[in-house]
Amino acid sequence: MGRRAACAARFRMVTNGQQGQVELPSPRGPLSAHVFAVLQGPPDGLRRLPEIHHVAGALDEDEQLCLYLLQELSFRSVDGVDPGWEDAPSFLVLRAALERAMEHALRLEVGHGRCPPEDIAGALRELISAAEGPSLSTWMVEQGTIDHVREFVAHRAAYQLKEADPHSFAIPRLAPGRAKAALLTIQLDEYGGSVPSESHASLFAVTMETLGLDGTAPDLDRIPVTTLATNTFLNRLGRSRRLLGACLGHLAVFEMTSVEPMARYAATLRRALAGADGTRAARFFDVHVAADGYHERIAIDEMVGGLVEQHPELAPEVLFGAAGLMQVEQAFTDHLLSCWDQGCSSLRRPLPGSDLRPVPAGFYARAS
């Protein structure tokens, strides 16, 4: 048995492919330590909170982990946490403060895009074409090993195991019309259409299981701040009616930049994991290659076009959501490639059986 097949066989776990409870992760600083301790009690006030010292342009491990956990309670249960916390006033105040700090920092970083509403499609395409920095999918298809693939999937689990859910918060906020119909069309495909077992979240769980990872929940203790930020930013957009335009701008660019990277990830999986296992693991990415070209056209022409036709004042917010997505994704890519180029794990600690070295001591303290 070759190394790739042995790796998959040795670490394969049997799971039911369903979303499970998220385990309360280990804290990464005074804020998350305090909040996680309080959340294990009955819903009450979060008293004597450490101050939030957010520096523009910086991502703080402690703040981002805390924010991710607070947002996650709107999606699924967290082990040992009373679901009543989601509606506790002090909980809402803290989550809002953390979200405002992140939004403010990102607006400073990406600037304030302007364009006539009728030019929004061209502005989004120009934003994508002007992007700089290395391509993660190109690096993966050229150099990625089974260890890199497994890490990449572990990173993405925080979003993919609930794929489409954050954007679905936008549905009731849209008035009837082209934008709402387009969003519903895209989301229905994401959820498997008439075949629920074909939902993209379910297919990703299969990919995880084939690679020997737990396909029921993300491993939050391993996920670094740059990965958390790709999720907390989207969750912020989805939960705010004020940020409706930004949420749809985020989704539009998500679809517009999907097809070629997904094809590269599928090719990487088939090379790194031969045979039936490679085909099975790559199916999640194959499905996106087939669907997202169609989704791109709907997203740009009908969803975004319909939104700015109804609400032309939202065009700048559409650009903010798009630019914010590209900003957090580039930081994510830079982190992974800077670690992998040195032969180090991009996770806070390597996965079992990985040949990638742990990151040097103090790396995350310096990065945050």
Separation CA 162–CA 204 (nearest Å): 10
Separation CA 67–CA 61 (nearest Å): 10
Separation CA 237–CA 219 (nearest Å): 23
Q: Give the model's pLDDT for residue 292.
A: 78
Helix%, strand%, coil% for the chain, nearest 5: 65, 0, 35
The predicted model gives 204-212 an average pLDDT of 98
Q: Give the model's pLDDT for residue 291.
A: 84
Query: Taking Cα atoms as reference points, which of 224, 225, 248 lies closest to residue 238?
Result: 248
Q: How confident is the model at residue 46 (pLDDT cuts 50, 70, 90)?
A: confident
Q: Give the model's pLDDT for residue 175.
A: 96
Q: Which residue has the higher pLDDT, 172 or 55?
A: 172
pLDDT digits (tens, 9 = 90+) for 65-78: 999 999 999 999 99
Alpha-carbon Rg for the chain, nearest whole angstrom, is: 20
169, two tokens: 């918060």
pLDDT above 60: residue 307? yes
Q: How confident is the model at residue 187 (pLDDT cuts 50, 70, 90)?
A: very high
Chain length of the chain? 368
Could you state, in order of their start, the residue ranges of all structural domains in the chain?
A: 19-110, 113-359
Separation CA 310–CA 270 (nearest Å): 45
pLDDT digits (tens, 9 = 90+) for 244-269: 999 999 999 999 999 999 999 999 99
* Lowest pLDDT segment from 153-167, 233-247, 279-293: 279-293
Name 78's bridge partners: 22
CATH topology of domain 113-359: Heme Oxygenase; Chain A (1.20.910)
Q: How confident is the model at residue 345 (pLDDT cuts 50, 70, 90)?
A: very high
Assign 193 to helix, strand or coil: coil
How many secondary structure helices (H) and strands (E) does the chain include?
A: 17, 0
Q: Long-range CB contacts (< 8 A, 24+ apart) of 165-174?
A: 165/75, 165/238, 166/234, 166/235, 166/237, 166/238, 167/234, 167/238, 167/247, 167/250, 167/251, 168/238, 169/238, 169/239, 169/247, 170/238, 170/244, 170/247, 170/248, 170/251, 173/241, 173/244, 174/244, 174/307
Q: Give the model's pLDDT for residue 112.
A: 76
Given a contact cutoff of 8 angstroms between Cβ atoms, the answer to whether 269 and 278 are in contact is yes
Threshold 0.85, pTM exceeds: yes
The share of the chain scoring above pLDDT 70, in percent, equals 89
Separation CA 324–CA 139 (nearest Å): 23
Q: How confident is the model at residue 2 (pLDDT cuts 50, 70, 90)?
A: very low
pLDDT above 80: residue 204? yes
